[in-house]
């Protein structure tokens, strides 16, 4: 966060912005369902904070190495832990000797401390990871209060029982939190929203019905399509982007060519030494230089730097290669790979530097063309600003939504790559209290922090109104006006399935002009449209409900986006917008239709005054395509000359419906 | 030995007093397990503030019986989420 909030336009040094308009989120309570919290972290200091907000009914609960009266303060006002579901599902006792953890709200992973910092941490100046990313760490709402609901425990990848999660939702709703942040996901394929095992969508439904926005991560299963999780229409689902910061790490070859790789390498420079690429002699068919299965028998590794290649985007091949090379006496690794957007330090300051395939091939050609190739590896530097482009992270899960393709997911994107925030001393990547981590887990609390600010500014806005404000005002470019790319193979310009409405733009979201609002009635319409029976819906919402005789169309759910997954005949859908800007306003429609798609809006002009605050309009959509196509993208923008209220449009023509085209 | 944690989901709660809601949950579970004591032993959580439901360790056949009780929307086995 030493860069991410400035990048999003929420710098405390700016004379005016949402941060100042909301007194830095004072009075708002952010609840997080996560791995707990390290209360001694400087980011949870409560200097200058006033009394605990009146609406707060929660509590801090003591436990192992956690003294509620000493560890909670006016910043960390709630801390509970939930393990009964986890224990009841584990046949063996939870052994905290083998898997260090505390039977208390205290965080071992560092994940919950990290997400809490991003959402609502206090200012801590001169923070860095071993000098990298130096700056001021803070949350999006630095004066908001935090409530940690520890539901995840230290078993591989951090496991969180759905029974515990649901109890945490139950308590958070009771306690009076203003926003709930959930950086958790499950496995694909997904469970449906209300009649199966998707606990997060059930808990979040009841939170949203009571006016509490729920922000969830889209998950880290990208860049494949249909991997987005937490897709219920009442959830605000967040994708992850990079920011305008990188950690270039010079690789100087013996021919004086310097290539800038990427690494979190804060160790000492490795002076000119041998550079090798493992290759098998003769006719041995296996490739020796594959990072995840290096064959070093025929390669002089001791004292040298090893180049390897991998097609795997994750960090696993890097870790495997480092282990092999260290064991063989090597002094560094250069990994040529597709971008994975997950940098991390290698243990004991061992240099492990990533380059892309193109630069890796140049290094390989140098090795093959030189009798005694050499290389120098220099420590990473921090580069911030315009030269660095913004990308949707490789790992960030992508739409379409596999449960309800007409509901655009993810909703929005936010920074989630190499974010510096507070962590636990048990976090092996932590230095001086801070660690750089990546994931939609990190993107999610960025949006939660912004939602906290919006709640402070517009206390009467519904969760749907807040979502609408975020989606319709999001950046389709980076903050400098340059395109946002989506990492993957190959890299492409990002579209709504990568980032929903776009990159979150907090200052614009504060004044969106119009909002696409929704309430429980709209969610009932959605549930009817996607086929849930009336008795289940009635019980879910706590009132007798009957779906209309004519089944409603999911296309008419009042979302701030339009997604048509199966266009064949002409379709007309409806939306309504509510004016939250100047009372007397006139908006005109501006349509950018997807290629080959006709889009017509009626009426084309919306006139608001003191009596007309909400207006419905129709959108007629037809296709000129005569074959089943992929998705094409466009947009509908309402503008009064000052506000731009933009809805992404995604349309797929399906002449043959329910058809898998595998030819 | 075959019991697993199941979540019994009952939707919006119908009583403002959380203790009444929890008491209802115990009664429901007892009606299937045969005694109040067994219900208390089996109960993991009572969801009583934001919505109604409970988590309990029950067998598959007990879960099916609970699913047939009035007011129950769904009984689902608990499962795990992971960090992102």
Residue A262 sits at the chain B interface (C-beta within 8 Å): no
**Is the pLDDT reported for residue A284 higher than 80?**
no
Which runs of consecutive H residues, i.e. helices, occur in A298-373? 316-327, 357-368
Residue A642 sits at the chain B interface (C-beta within 8 Å): no
- Please give the sequence-ordered ranges of beta strands (E in DSSP) within A451-519, or none if there are none: 485-486, 492-493, 514-515
Does B73 sit within 8 Å of A194, measured CB to CB?
yes
- Nearest to B84, CA basis, from A532, A392, A557, A444: A444
pLDDT, one tens digit per residue, over B35-80 is 999 999 999 999 999 999 999 999 999 999 999 999 898 899 999 9
From chain A residues 62-101, the ones with a CB under 8 A of any chain B CB are 84-85, 88-89
- When pLDDT is averaged across residues A372-377 and rounded to a whole number, the result is 98
Strands A391-392 and A485-486: parallel
Residue A345 sits at the chain B interface (C-beta within 8 Å): no
What's the mean pLDDT when you consider all of chain A? Answer: 94
For residue A114, indicate whether it is catalytic. no
**Is the pLDDT reported for residue A304 higher than 80?**
yes
What's the mean pLDDT when you consider all of chain B? Answer: 94
Q: Which of A54-63, A107-116, A311-320, A420-429 is least confident?
A: A311-320
Q: Which residues in chain B are contacts of A80 at CB distance < 8 A?
A: none
Q: Which residues in chain A are contacts of B48 at CB distance < 8 A?
A: 170
**Is the pLDDT reported for residue A293 higher than 70?**
yes
For A543, which residue in chain B has the nearest alpha carbon?
Answer: B12
Residue B76 sits at the chain A interface (C-beta within 8 Å): yes
For residue A441, indicate whether it is catalytic. yes
For residue A34, indicate whether it is catalytic. yes
CB pairs A-B closer than 8 Å: 139
Q: Which residues in chain A are contacts of B8 at CB distance < 8 A?
A: none
Q: Which residues in chain B are contacts of A527 at CB distance < 8 A?
A: none
Q: How far apart are the first and last CA of chain B?
A: 33
Residue A118 sits at the chain B interface (C-beta within 8 Å): no
Q: What percent of chain A has pLDDT over 70?
A: 98
Catalytic residue among A71, A101, A104, A111: A111
Q: Which of A78-87, A158-167, A284-293 is least confident?
A: A284-293
Burial status of residue A655 (CB atoms within 10 A of its CB: 0-12, 13-18, 19 or more): middle
Calculated CA dihedral for residues A173, A175, A181, A183, nearest 10 degrees: -90
Nearest C-alpha of chain B: how many angstroms from A195?
Answer: 6
Q: Which residues in chain B are contacts of A163 at CB distance < 8 A?
A: 5, 7, 44-45, 55, 78
Which residues share a beta bridge with A646? A637
Nearest C-alpha of chain A: how many angstroms from B34?
Answer: 21
Q: Which residue has the tokens 């579901």?
A: A85
Select from A88, A173, A209 the Cβ nearest to the Cβ of B57: A88
**Is the pLDDT reported for residue A528 higher than 80?**
yes
* Contact call for residues B61 and A13 (beta carbons, < 8 A): no
Does B9 sit within 8 Å of A163, measured CB to CB?
no
For B80, which residue in chain A has the nearest alpha carbon?
Answer: A161
Select from A165, A200, A441 the Cβ nearest to the Cβ of B83: A441
Residue A57 sits at the chain B interface (C-beta within 8 Å): no
């Amino acid at each position: 966060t030493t860069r991410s909030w400035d990048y999003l336009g929420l710098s405390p040094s700016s004379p005016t912005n949402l941060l100042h308009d909301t007194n830095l989120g004072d009075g708002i309570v952010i609840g997080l369902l996560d791995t707990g919290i390290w209360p001694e972290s400087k980011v949870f200091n409560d200097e200058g904070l006033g009394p605990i907000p009146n609406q707060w009914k929660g509590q801090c609960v003591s436990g192992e190495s956690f003294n509620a009266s000493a560890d909670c303060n006016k910043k960390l006002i709630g801390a509970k832990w939930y393990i009964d579901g986890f224990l009841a599902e584990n046949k063996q006792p939870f052994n905290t000797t083998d898997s260090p953890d505390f039977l208390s709200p205290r965080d071992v992973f560092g994940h919950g401390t990290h997400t809490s910092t991003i959402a609502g941490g206090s200012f801590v100046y001169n923070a860095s990871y071993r000098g990298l990313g130096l700056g001021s760490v803070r949350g999006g709402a630095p004066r908001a209060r935090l409530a940690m609901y520890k539901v995840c425990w230290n078993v591989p990848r951090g496991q969180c029982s759905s029974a515990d999660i649901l109890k945490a939702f139950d308590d958070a709703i009771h306690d009076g939190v203003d926003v709930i942040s959930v950086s958790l996901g499950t496995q694909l394929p997904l469970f449906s929203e209300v009649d199966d095992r998707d606990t997060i969508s059930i808990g979040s439904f009841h939170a949203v019905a009571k006016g509490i926005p729920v922000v969830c991560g889209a998950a880290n299963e990208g860049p494949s399509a249909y991997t987005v999780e937490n897709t219920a229409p009442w959830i605000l689902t967040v994708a992850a982007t990079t920011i305008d910061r990188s950690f270039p790490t010079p690789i100087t070859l013996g021919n004086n060519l310097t290539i800038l790789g990427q690494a979190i390498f804060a160790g000492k420079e490795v002076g000119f030494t041998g550079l090798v690429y493992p290759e098998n002699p003769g006719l041995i068919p296996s490739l020796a230089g594959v990072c995840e299965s290096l064959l070093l028998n025929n390669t002089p590794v001791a004292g040298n730097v090893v180049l390897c290649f991998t097609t795997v985007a994750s960090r696993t091949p890097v870790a495997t290669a480092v282990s092999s090379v260290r064991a063989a006496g090597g002094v560094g690794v250069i990994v040529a790979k597709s971008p994975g957007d997950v940098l991390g330090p290698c243990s004991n300051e061992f240099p492990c530097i990533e380059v892309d395939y193109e630069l890796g091939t140049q290094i390989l050609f140098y090795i093959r063309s030189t009798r005694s190739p050499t290389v120098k590896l220099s420590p990473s530097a921090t580069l911030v600003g315009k030269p660095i482009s913004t990308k949707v992270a490789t790992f960030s899960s992508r739409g379409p939504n596999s449960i309800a393709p007409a509901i655009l997911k993810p909703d929005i994107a936010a920074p989630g790559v190499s974010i510096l925030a507070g962590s636990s001393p048990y976090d092996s990547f932590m230095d001086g209290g801070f660690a750089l981590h990546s994931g939609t887990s990190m993107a999610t609390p960025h949006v939660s922090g912004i939602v906290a600010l919006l709640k402070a500014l517009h206390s009467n806005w519904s969760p749907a109104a807040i979502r609408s404000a975020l989606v319709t005002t999001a950046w389709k470019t980076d903050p400098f006006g340059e395109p946002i790319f989506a990492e993957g193979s190959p890299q492409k310009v990002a579209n709504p399935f990568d980032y929903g409405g776009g990159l979150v733009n907090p200052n614009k979201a504060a004044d969106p002009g119009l909002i696409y609002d929704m309430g429980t009635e709209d969610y009932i319409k959605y549930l009817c449209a996607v086929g849930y029976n009336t008795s289940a819906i009635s019980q879910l919402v706590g009132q007798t409900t009957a779906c209309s005789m004519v089944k409603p169309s999911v296309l008419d759910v009042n979302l701030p986006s339009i997604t048509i997954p199966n266009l064949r005949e002409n379709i007309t859908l409806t939306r309504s917008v509510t004016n939250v800007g100047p009372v007397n306003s006139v908006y005109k429609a501006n349509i950018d239709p997807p290629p080959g798609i006709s889009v017509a809006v009626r009426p084309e002009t919306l006139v608001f005054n003191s009596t007309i605050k909400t207006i419905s309009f129709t959108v007629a959509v037809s296709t000129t395509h005569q074959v089943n196509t992929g998705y094409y993208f466009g947009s509908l923008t309402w503008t009064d000359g000052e506000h731009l209220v933009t809805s992404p449009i995604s349309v797929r023509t399906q002449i043959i419906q329910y058809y898998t085209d595998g030819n | 030995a075959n019991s697993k944690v199941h979540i019994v989901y009952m939707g919006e709660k119908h009583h403002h007093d959380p203790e009444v809601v929890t008491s209802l949950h115990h009664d429901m579970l007892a009606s299937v397990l045969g005694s109040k004591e067994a219900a208390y032993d089996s109960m993991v959580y009572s969801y009583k503030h934001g919505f109604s439901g409970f988590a309990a360790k029950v067998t598959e056949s007990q879960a099916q019986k609970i699913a047939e009780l009035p007011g129950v929307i769904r009984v689902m086995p608990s499962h795990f989420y992971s960090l992102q």
